[in-house]
């Protein structure tokens, strides 16, 4: 009978509850088993299979403890060449032992491979819920087999999935002087060297803080993080936050840890507690980047507006929301227009990309390109954008110029710069230097007559002459020379 | 040895697979994928091991556990490679996130690694008797070193100390040097093409061997990869020169090599011919080296003679010499309007901010708005990071300290001699890197002469002495140079390295410098490390 154990729910994060265990894919009539039989089944293998209900079976735990303690004496012997024996009496590392281990671990995947049959699903919680898992027996429950250092994570948790690679001889140093009596200082020293430590005996707040302070003083990031994980699980949140507020180094580590593991909610709670409101706002705002759907992103941004940003940033976030809102409308509209095939501009210049999530200036360019003639009333008109987002003249003129030049709409370009003064005469003015205008026109292959006209308007004489020669505006050159003479 | 890649492991007839990785979570996901996609049935069972460089990480092991593969590893260890030698006088931790961690997140992991690296150095080269430092991170590192020494007294070695002084410098003491465009040969290669672990990838066209009669077909498409270090004679000679001085060196070299090859006509006797032939490999290597660097110099020249490079450099130099740093700059605005690469814009505005000790509210708001409107509102996050790092900030006091610092430390030198420099300011054609000036003044006449200026720079400055066992006190011979190890916490540029090397070879300089850092940086990848990683827009 092949049983695949699969955890429902998202991959577990430290401290979070994992989903319920569900037996899936039982072959051969397993589907009809009664629930009570499932319990029996789970407990029937030679080696204790992994379940969440481990802690209910205290008797078996005790038995294991006894067995483990007895075998401990053998292992802690000074004789290096000792043999280790598993629960079933086989010498560890022997072939028969590894076969047995392999067979019994069929409830998990064989050979030390944790069940990861479904991509991304974890098969066990990072940390167990029960409190009594740090007895000596926990070390022998299908521990990861190592030649040397234990993982620090093993120091904390252990009733994770069992792995049954043939055990290599564990160096005696790992178990030397094992006692349950270490001070915080000794515990930290041991953890630094990667040795096994049980943290559960630190029950009082004072002891726990002593442990943390000791870790901080030795500057070992891994140890600090390990202890923080322990504290996070065993302390009330408010107390933890309070204590960390005055412990900057440990606080930093916790923040880093929460960020890395993606525990966004707890991270934001911590920041709020510390009154780092702007950081809360920015951190929440950052999340919008992972929302792909435009409508959902818009909703999210709407919610961000009232967050405690600095006053300048608040305006920008508001603008971001407004812009996306407009873009969604424009996009929907234009897609319609394009599909209908009636609009000339869309026929001649089919859109290469969606306008969603583009920056404001790009949107303005788009609007000057496709919707130039629209009045201020529509969302897609350039003048509406200018007004709504308070786009400065300089930026507006530049963008409009670029768009109209690309379309070779020279009359529109003219109109941009023409103003009637009080006498009724038209005059050309630009909030940007005319040399820039010439540059942009030239880049869009404007005909010489058009170029010429603007070269003539360049204020600086030398630049004017240079540009005239560069772009072969002979009339201007001639005029220049004539004027000089 | 294979590069870590997602998917399946490459086929190989081996029993053991060792993953040698930095402790980064993303890498753990790739490893998990590798392990899980191992074909269990087919191949002989393989053993997995993992080596974390330089230190194991609880979070990474947790991640492997979450992915369900932790148990597959038989050995999980760490390989304490803290400092990697890049050249005879250059060591780097290559920790990309060090600056961000230290100055944005207050995370001292890389400082701890720096301290460990220094302890290893001392174990190999003797205890360093004098430690000077400037900056908060420098203070932390020094404290850690002292504490580490106390805790492992057994490390009292009997090695004669090679280093006389250690100078620890925070990057944020001198934010200016990485922002300005470097103008040494090596600096420009890094700025334009990016040097990765002493390798550079260049566009291949100029490196194709020109054959007679072939009209440019079969041009190579793979970028040309070259290794750049001091083992190459010519490179060692030109790398630290101002780019404008490189041309004459190359043409001189060309003449020498041509002449050497011409010798073959003069070789009459068998003995002479034999001698010529024996030198041939060396001459051919020299010629190939010359060809490569001539091509590289041409590539660089195309950029440095462009209008845009010139305009950009002009504005940078204006800022650094204190001109118009308090108003919105036209060139910067134009670049934003033309949507030049964002990092270029950020370097310019940050440079202006640093040279003005912060920007006035109106100016800062103006730049911010233009950037957000042109490149997207999501860049609020990056701008925020830059502000936190002190690169782009509001002017707090009405006083601008930069002119005082500039004048006292002689940071801007008008008369720069690029061909035969007499001062470190040649590396930026006018600007003397502040960090290197600090080192220079420490050696002579000492920091007491610049107490006032030091107070204007962020962080404490300090001096520590470490006891040397008796008998190992260094007695300096007449004319023998002191050796100073300068450790940049947060990154160092090739231009600064060139400046320190310049000081080393100065006659009567009195000090030789060895350089260590958390990372070799240039303005572009440095700013990039401070930018938020943005997802590509959904299309």
CB A155 within 8 A of CB A215: no
pLDDT in tens, A388-444: 999 988 899 999 999 999 999 999 988 888 877 666 666 677 777 888 888 888 888
| Shortest distance, CA B484 to any CA of chain A (angstroms) | 27
Partner-chain contact A160 B375, CB within 8 Å: no
The answer to whether A122 contacts B68, with C-beta atoms less than 8 Å apart, is yes
CA distance A56 to A45: 17
Contact criterion met (CB < 8 Å) for B71 and A144: yes
Q: Where are the domains of chain A?
A: 184-275, 409-484
d(CA A223, CA A215): 6
For the domain B308-400, what is the CATH code?
Answer: 1.25.40.850
Beta carbons of A116 and B77 less than 8 Å apart: no
B62, A165: Cβ pair inside 8 Å? no
Per-residue confidence (pLDDT) for residue B475, from 0 to 100:
67
Q: Which tokens sit at A248?
A: 């900057």
- Cβ-Cβ contacts under 8 Å, A436 against chain B: 334
Alpha carbon distance B423, B506 (integer Å): 10
What is the distance in angstroms between the Cα of B163 and the nearest Cα belonging to chain A? 26
> What three-state secondary structure class fits B41?
coil
Residue B485 zone, left/alpha/beta (φ > 0; ψ -120 to 50; rest): beta
Q: Check if the beta carbon of residue B350 is closer than 8 Å to that of residue B527.
A: yes
Q: Is residue B511 a contact partner of residue B538, using CB atoms and an 8 Å limit? A: no
pLDDT of residue B247: 94
Helix axes B342-355, B361-375, angle to 10 degrees: 170
The band of A51, judged by pLDDT with boundaries at 50, 70 and 90, is very low
Q: How far is B61 from chain A (nearest CA, A)?
A: 7
Q: Do A113 and B373 touch (CB under 8 A)?
A: no
Q: What is the pLDDT of residue A65?
A: 56
pLDDT given for residue B155 in this prediction:
55
Sheet-wide strand order for B90-92: B84-87, B90-92, B511-517, B482-489, B165-170, B130-134, B461-465
Residues of B in contact with A248 (CB under 8 A): 106
CB B2 within 8 A of CB B10: yes
Check B69 against A122: CB less than 8 A apart. Answer: no
Alpha-helical segments (H) within B152-241: 176-179, 185-192, 233-238
Residues of A in contact with B76 (CB under 8 A): 146, 149, 151
pLDDT-based confidence at residue A485 (cuts at 50, 70, 90):
low
Per-residue model confidence as pLDDT tens digits over A117-154: 333 333 333 333 333 333 333 333 333 333 333 444 44
The two tokens of residue B30 are 């790739």
Q: Which residues in chain B have their CB less than 8 angstroms from residue A257's CB?
A: 59
Asked if A349 is an interface residue toward chain B (Cβ–Cβ < 8 A), one would say: no
> Which pLDDT value is given to residue A415?
87
Interface predicted TM-score (ipTM) of this complex, two decimals: 0.86
Chain B touched by A388 (CB under 8 Å): no
**Ramachandran area for residue B150 (φ above 0: left; ψ -120 to 50: alpha; else beta):** alpha
In this structure, what token pair is assigned to residue B531? Answer: 């930018």
State which residue of chain B sits closest to A227, comparing Cα positions. B58
**Residues of chain A with C-beta less than 8 angstroms from the C-beta of B337:** 394-395, 398
Farthest CA pair distance, chain B:
80
Chain B interface, mutation test: which of A50, A221, A295, A463, most B Cβ atoms within 10 Å? A221
Q: For chain A, what is the mean pLDDT?
A: 71
CB-CB under 8 Å, B71 with A114: yes
Domain residues of chain B, as ranges? Answer: 16-78, 84-177+433-473+480-526, 185-209+222-305, 308-400
Quote the minimal CA–CA distance from A422 to chain B in Å: 31
In CATH terms, the fold of domain B185-209+222-305 is Syntaxin Binding Protein 1; Chain A, domain 2 (3.90.830)
Average pLDDT over residues A72-87: 44
Cβ separation of A222 and B56 shorter than 8 Å?
A: yes
Query: Is the pLDDT reported for residue A7 higher than 70?
Result: no
Count of Cβ atoms closer than 10 Å to residue A220 Cβ: 20
3-state secondary structure of B487: strand
Mutation test of the interface with chain B: which of A109, A222, A352, A432, choosing the one with the most B Cβ atoms within 10 A? A222
Enumerate residues 292 to 311 of chain A having a beta carbon within 8 A of any beta carbon in chain B.
292-294
Smallest CA–CA distance, residue B281 to chain A, in Å, is 50
Rounded to whole angstroms, how far apart are CA atoms B350 and A429? 33
Confidence of residue A361 (pLDDT cuts 50, 70, 90): very high
Q: Which positions in chain B touch A391 (Cβ < 8 Å)?
A: 373
Among A30-34, A225-229, B247-251, B493-497, the range scoring the smallest mean pLDDT is A30-34
Put simply, the answer to whether A151 touches B76 (Cβ < 8 Å) is: yes
Rounded to an integer, what distance in angstroms lies between the CA atom of residue A88 and that of residue A239? Answer: 45
**Cβ–Cβ of A225/B73 closer than 8 Å?**
no
Angle in degrees, CA B322, B323, B327, rounded to 5: 110
Cα gap A141→A146, rounded to integer Å: 14
pLDDT recorded at residue A427: 67
For residues B376 and A361, what is the distance between their CA atoms, to the nearest angstrom? 9
Query: Which 3 state secondary structure label does DSSP give B223?
Result: coil
DSSP state of A432: S
Instruction: Decide which of 3.40.140.10, 3.40.50.1910, 3.40.109.10, 3.10.580.10 is the CATH code for B84-177+433-473+480-526.
Output: 3.40.50.1910
In CATH, which of 3.40.50.2060, 1.10.238.10, 3.40.50.2300, 2.60.40.2480 is domain B16-78?
A: 3.40.50.2060
Q: What angle do CA A129, A132, A138 make, to 5 degrees?
A: 100
CB-CB under 8 Å, B58 with A153: yes
Residue A9: pLDDT band by 50, 70, 90 thresholds? very low
Distance from chain centroid for Cα A324: 22
Q: Would you state the pLDDT for residue B15?
A: 85
Which residues of chain A are within 8 Å of residue B15 when distances are taken between CB atoms? none
For tokens 């990785």, the residue is B21
Interchain proximity B57–A222, CB inside 8 Å = yes
pLDDT in tens, chain B (539 residues): 888 888 888 887 888 899 999 998 889 999 999 888 886 666 667 889 999 998 888 889 888 988 888 888 989 999 999 999 999 999 999 999 999 999 998 888 899 999 999 999 999 998 999 999 999 999 999 999 998 888 876 656 678 889 999 999 999 999 999 999 999 999 999 999 999 999 999 998 888 766 555 555 566 778 899 999 999 999 999 999 999 999 999 999 999 999 888 887 887 888 888 888 888 899 899 999 999 999 999 999 999 999 999 999 999 999 999 999 999 999 999 999 889 999 999 999 999 999 999 999 999 999 999 999 999 999 999 999 999 999 999 998 778 899 999 999 999 999 999 999 999 999 999 999 999 999 999 998 999 999 999 999 999 999 999 988 777 776 666 667 899 999 999 999 999 999 999 999 998 888 999 999 999 999 999 999 999 877 544 33
Closest CA to B35 of A5, A12, A112, A11: A112
pLDDT, tens digit, 9 for 90 and up, residues A306-322: 999 998 899 999 999 99
């Amino acid at each position: 009978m092949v049983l695949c154990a699969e955890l429902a729910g998202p991959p577990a994060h430290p401290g979070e509850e994992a989903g319920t265990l569900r037996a899936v894919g039982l072959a051969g009539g397993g589907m009809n088993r009664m629930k009570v039989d499932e319990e029996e089944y789970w407990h029937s293998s030679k080696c204790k299979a992994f379940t969440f209900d481990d802690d209910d079976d205290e008797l078996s735990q005790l038995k294991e403890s006894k067995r483990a303690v007895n075998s401990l004496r053998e292992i802690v012997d000074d004789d290096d060449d000792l043999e280790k024996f598993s629960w079933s009496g086989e010498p560890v590392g022997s072939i028969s032992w590894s076969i047995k281990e392999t067979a019994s671990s069929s409830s998990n995947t064989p050979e030390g491979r944790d069940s990861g049959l479904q991509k991304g699903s974890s098969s066990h919680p990072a940390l167990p819920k029960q409190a009594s898992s740090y007895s000596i027996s926990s070390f022998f429950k299908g521990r990861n087999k190592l030649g040397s250092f234990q993982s620090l994570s093993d120091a904390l948790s252990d009733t994770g999935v069992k792995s049954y690679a043939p055990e290599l001889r564990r160096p005696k140093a790992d178990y030397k002087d094992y006692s349950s009596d270490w001070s915080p200082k000794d515990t930290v020293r041991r953890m630094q060297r990667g040795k096994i430590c049980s943290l559960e005996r630190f029950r009082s707040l004072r002891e726990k803080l002593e442990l943390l302070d000791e870790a901080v003083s030795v500057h070992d990031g891994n140890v600090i993080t390990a202890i923080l994980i322990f504290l996070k699980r065993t302390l009330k949140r408010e107390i933890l936050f309070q204590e960390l507020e005055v412990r900057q180094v440990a606080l930093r580590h916790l923040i880093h840890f929460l960020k890395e593991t993606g525990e966004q909610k707890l991270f934001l709670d911590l920041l709020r507690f510390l009154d780092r409101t702007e950081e809360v706002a920015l951190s929440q705002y950052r999340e919008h980047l992972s929302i792909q759907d435009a409508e959902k992103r818009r909703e999210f941004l709407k919610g961000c507006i009232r967050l405690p940003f600095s006053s300048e940033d608040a305006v920008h976030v508001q603008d971001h929301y407004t812009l996306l809102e407009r873009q969604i409308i424009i996009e929907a509209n234009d897609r319609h227009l394009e599909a209908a095939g009636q609009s000339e501009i869309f026929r001649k210049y089919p859109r290469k990309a969606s306008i969603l999530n583009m920056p404001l200036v790009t949107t303005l360019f788009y609007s000057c390109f496709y919707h130039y003639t629209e009045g201020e009333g529509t969302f897609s008109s350039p003048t509406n954008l200018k007004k709504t987002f308070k786009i400065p003249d300089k930026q507006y003129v530049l963008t409009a110029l670029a768009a109209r030049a690309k379309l070779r709409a020279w009359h529109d370009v003219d109109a941009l710069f023409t103003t009637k003064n009080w006498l009724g005469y038209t005059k050309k003015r630009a909030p940007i230097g005319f040399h820039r205008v010439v540059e942009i026109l030239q880049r869009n292959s404007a005909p010489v007559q058009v170029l010429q006209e603007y070269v003539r308007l360049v204020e600086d004489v030398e630049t004017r002459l240079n540009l005239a020669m560069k772009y072969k505006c002979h009339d201007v050159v001639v005029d220049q020379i004539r004027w000089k003479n | 040895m294979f590069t870590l890649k997602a998917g399946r492991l490459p086929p190989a007839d081996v029993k053991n697979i060792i993953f040698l990785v930095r402790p980064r979570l993303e890498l753990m996901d790739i490893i998990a994928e590798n392990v899980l996609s191992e074909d269990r049935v087919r191949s002989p069972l393989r053993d997995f091991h993992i080596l974390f460089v330089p230190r194991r990480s609880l979070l990474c092991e947790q991640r492997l556990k979450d992915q369900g593969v932790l148990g597959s590893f038989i050995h999980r260890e760490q390989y304490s490679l803290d400092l990697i030698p890049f050249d005879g006088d250059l060591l780097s931790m290559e920790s990309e996130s060090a600056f961000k961690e230290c100055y944005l997140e207050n995370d001292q992991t890389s400082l701890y690694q720096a301290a460990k690296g220094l302890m290893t150095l001392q174990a190999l080269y003797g205890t360093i008797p004098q430690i000077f430092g400037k900056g908060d991170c420098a203070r932390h590192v020094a404290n850690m070193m002292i504490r580490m020494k106390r805790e492992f007294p057994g490390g009292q070695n009997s090695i004669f100390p090679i280093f006389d002084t250690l100078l620890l410098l925070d990057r944020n003491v001198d934010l200016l040097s990485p922002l300005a465009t470097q103008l040494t040969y090596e600096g420009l290669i890094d700025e334009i093409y990016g040097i990765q672990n002493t390798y550079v990838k260049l566009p291949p066209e100029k490196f194709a061997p020109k054959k007679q009669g072939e009209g440019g077909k079969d041009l190579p498409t793979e970028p040309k990869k070259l290794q750049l270090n001091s083992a190459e004679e010519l490179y060692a000679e030109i790398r630290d020169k101002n780019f404008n001085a490189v041309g004459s060196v190359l043409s001189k070299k060309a003449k020498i090599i041509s002449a050497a090859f011409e010798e073959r006509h003069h070789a009459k006797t068998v003995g002479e011919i034999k001698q010529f032939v024996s030198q041939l490999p060396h001459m051919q290597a020299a010629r190939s080296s010359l060809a490569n660097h001539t091509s590289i110099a041409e590539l660089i020249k195309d950029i440095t003679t462009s209008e845009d490079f010139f305009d950009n450099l002009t504005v940078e130099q204006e800022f650094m010499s204190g001109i118009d740093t308090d108003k919105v700059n036209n060139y910067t605005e134009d670049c934003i309007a033309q949507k030049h690469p964002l990092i270029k814009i950020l370097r310019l505005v940050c440079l202006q901010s640093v040279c003005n000790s912060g920007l006035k509210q109106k100016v800062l708001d103006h730049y911010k708005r233009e950037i957000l409107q042109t490149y997207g509102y999501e860049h609020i996050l990056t701008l925020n990071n830059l502000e936190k790092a002190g690169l782009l900030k509001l002017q707090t006091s009405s006083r601008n300290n930069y002119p005082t610092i500039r004048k006292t430390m002689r940071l801007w030198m008008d008369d720069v001699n690029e061909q035969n420099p007499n001062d470190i300011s040649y590396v930026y054609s006018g600007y003397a890197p502040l960090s290197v000036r600090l080192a220079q003044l420490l050696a002579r006449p000492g920091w007491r002469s610049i107490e006032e200026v030091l107070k204007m720079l962020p962080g404490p400055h300090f001096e520590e002495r470490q006891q040397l066992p008796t008998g190992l006190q260094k007695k300096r011979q007449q004319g023998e140079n002191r050796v100073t190890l300068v450790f940049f916490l947060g990154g160092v540029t090739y231009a600064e390295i060139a400046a320190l090397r310049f000081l080393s070879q100065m006659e009567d300089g009195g000090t030789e410098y060895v350089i260590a850092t958390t990372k070799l940086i240039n303005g572009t990848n440095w700013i990039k490390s401070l930018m938020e990683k943005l997802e590509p827009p959904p299309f």
